[in-house]
Amino acid sequence: MKTTHKSILGITISRQGLHFTQLKKRSKGHVIERYFAMMFSEKLSLDTPQALAKAIQSGMEKAGFTTNTAILGVPSGWVITKEKQLPASDKREAIEILNLQMFNDFSISSQDLLVDFSGHLNENNKQHLLLVAGQKNKIEKILNLLAKAQLKVIGALPTALGVTQKNDEIILHITDADIELTMYTKHGYAGIEHLSLKPLALCDKGERAWAKQLSDRLKRSRLAFGGGHRRLVIYAAAPLSQIIVDEITKRSGMSIHCSQIAECYRVNDAITGKNLAAYHAAANMGSLAFNPSGLPVNFIDSKLSVKSPSRWAKKKLALFMAAGFGFLILGLVGYAFYSSYRVKQIESDIAASKPLADQAKRLKNKIRMVSPWLDKRSSYINPMHDLSPIIGSSNLFYITSLTISDSHQMLIRGSAKSRTDIPTLTKEIRSSKHFTGATSGPISVNPKTGRHHFEITLIHSGK
């Protein structure tokens, strides 16, 4: 659903500061109405959020900003990506696969990441997706700062995913301090990268040497993503010299197109900005904000996250919990009365008959045997830890669900492209010292996808 805001904000972050662009949607495109850069200093930085928030509010008021709804673009240096290829599957099954594989794809703890994916899920064809993870502490720090500045952020994603793209294209944003790279193929976004290269202004060896370094980094990135890209689009803070363009063309073998802000947006005559690349990036974020549901990635509302329950669902849950607690209290009271009655009855029987006394002693021994079992808390971490290397070691199959009982009996459900791939997984589990009794259950075929669905039962030995 598209937003109905007349004007919208695009916000981006650089090493020097924050950039704010206000756009208005017109029938023939977007018009940039306002631009404001909040540059960092010793007194104003991300470590002084209260002072910085006030300065942002004051600066935006002076610049004439009229809206507070925004899309936030974060630097690619805060992000790690993983290209994924999934078999044909429905949305629910694909998301279950991504959630399970996410723990193996990123070495950082999932609690420290905000994760979403870019790409379209397709039930009939093989799916090419880009798993994108952002550093949670840094992103939430910026979101908290903007909230203090009375700004409403409805989406957050890497700035590099906000650029205009075509098939098999590489896009470079070259600002005064950073170089961000975006890879795009016919399947969609293939990756983003922060190039660790000094800005041209800080390179003491001249333009040609800097262009050579940039070309070498481009070659390595192209090889890492398949090497098929032929077109390079550059958005630079200042126009690149012909020496740089010729050197990159010669060394990279790519056709180069250098774009300026005027080629993409109609700009209010009163707007001026020296940092054209940061200006363009912020404008891209703003244009995305007119359709927040169409964002390629959104860390605030991830397609992998569990949706928050509605207000009625929360009330319903509270009622069920209160009712359950009430039944528990009644059950405990009833059990106490019953236990008291039963003890008195047993005591009477013991006084009356020796055989009944022996029966009561056996009952007491049984209670002693059951009590440690009731107090025992089974661990589910070790079975998942021991199974993870086996699941992650093969691309022949996908695991869709995993069930672990208190007695460490496990049930694995998944799908494979071929029926002959399933014994491979069973064999790997049997060869592990951590599991015993691996048995393959019935195999069924999904008529839509042609994949073979299987079940494997096993026991975690705890070794």
Q: What is the DSSP string of 239-261?
A: PPPHHHHHHHHHHH--EEEEE-G
Would you state the pLDDT for residue 104?
67
The SS3 call for residue 101 is helix
State yes or no: pLDDT of 307 exceeds 60.
Answer: no
DSSP sequence for 329-383: HHHHHHHHHHHHHHHHHHHHHHHH-HHHHHHHHHHHHHHHHHHHHHH-----HHH
Q: 408, 407, 405, 398: which is closest to 451 by C-alpha? A: 398
Angle, alpha carbons 409-413-414 (nearest 5°): 150
pLDDT for the residue 365: 62
Do β-strands 444-445 and 266-267 pair in parallel, antiparallel, or remain unpaired? unpaired
Task: Could you list the beta-strand ranges (E) of 64-214.
Answer: 69-74, 79-86, 113-118, 127-135, 152-158, 169-174, 179-185, 188-194
* pLDDT in the model for residue 146: 94
Residue 35 has pLDDT above 80, yes or no: yes
DSSP letters along 22-35, please?
EEEEETTEEEEEEE
Q: Rounded to whole angstroms, how far apart are CA atoms 8 and 69?
A: 6
Please tell me the predicted confidence (pLDDT) of residue 395.
66
Q: pLDDT at position 386, please?
A: 78
> What confidence score (pLDDT) does residue 3 get?
45
Residues 24 and 9 sit within 8 Å (Cβ to Cβ): no
Q: What is the tens place of the pLDDT at every residue in 327-361?
A: 677 777 676 667 777 777 777 766 666 665 666 56
Q: Model confidence over 240-290: pLDDT tens digits?
A: 788 888 888 888 777 777 655 444 444 444 444 445 556 667 777 777 767
Count of C-beta atoms within a 10 Å radius of residue 133: 23
How high is the pLDDT of residue 354?
66
> What is the β-pairing status of strands 179-185 and 152-158?
unpaired
| Residue 336 one-letter amino acid | A
CA–centroid distance for 368 within its chain: 49
Rounded to whole angstroms, the maximal C-alpha distance in the chain is: 110
Rounded CA-CA distance 281/159 in Å is 7
Interstrand relation of 452-460 and 444-445 (parallel, antiparallel or unpaired): antiparallel
Q: What is the mean pLDDT of residues 297-306?
A: 78
DSSP state of 423: H
- Extents of the domains making up the chain: 7-294, 311-375, 381-460
Amino acid letter, 383: P
- Determine which of 145-159, 370-384, 409-423 has the lowest per-residue pLDDT on average: 370-384
Bridge partners, 156 (sequence order): 72
Higher pLDDT: 335 or 305? It is 335
What value does the mean pLDDT take over residues 62-69? Answer: 90
Alpha-carbon gap, residue 35 to 287, rounded angstroms: 14
Structure token pair of residue 188: 């969609």
* CB half-sphere exposure, 171, CA atoms < 13 A: 24
Helices (H) and strands (E) in the chain, counts: 10, 19
pLDDT value at position 59?
92
Amino acid at 409: Q
pLDDT for residue 193: 79
Strand partners, 70: 9, 153
Q: Give 57's pLDDT tier (boundaries 50, 70, 90).
A: very high
Average pLDDT of the chain is: 75
Tell me, what's the pLDDT at 231? Answer: 77
- Give the model confidence (pLDDT) of 364-383 as tens digits: 665 555 445 444 444 566 77
7-294 maps to which CATH number? 3.30.420.380
- At residue 354, φ and ψ (nearest 5 deg) are -65, -40
pLDDT at 139: 92
Q: Per-residue confidence at 404, pLDDT binned at 50, 70, 90? A: confident
- The set of residues, in sequence order, having a beta carbon less than 8 Å from that of 299 and lying 6+ positions away, is 74, 114, 116, 134, 139, 156, 157
- Helix or strand (DSSP H, E) at 409: strand 409-416
Residue 52: which pLDDT band, with cuts at 50, 70 and 90? very high
Would you state the structure tokens that stand for residue 52, as one six-digit string? 């910085």
Instruction: Tell me the CA distances in angstroms from 388 to 322, 395, 399, one per residue in order.
Output: 38, 13, 11
pLDDT band at 54 (very low <50, low <70, confident <90, very high): very high
pLDDT confidence of residue 62 = 93
- What homologous superfamily does CATH list for 381-460? General secretion pathway protein M, EpsM (3.30.1360.100)
On the 0-12 / 13-18 / 19+ scale of CB atoms within 10 A, 357 is middle
Reply yes or no on whether the pLDDT at 80 is more than 80. Answer: yes
Higher-pLDDT residue of 338 and 214 is 214
Taking residue 266's Cβ as centre, other Cβ atoms within 10 Å add up to: 13
Q: How far is CA 442 from CA 93, 330, 404, in A?
A: 19, 45, 19
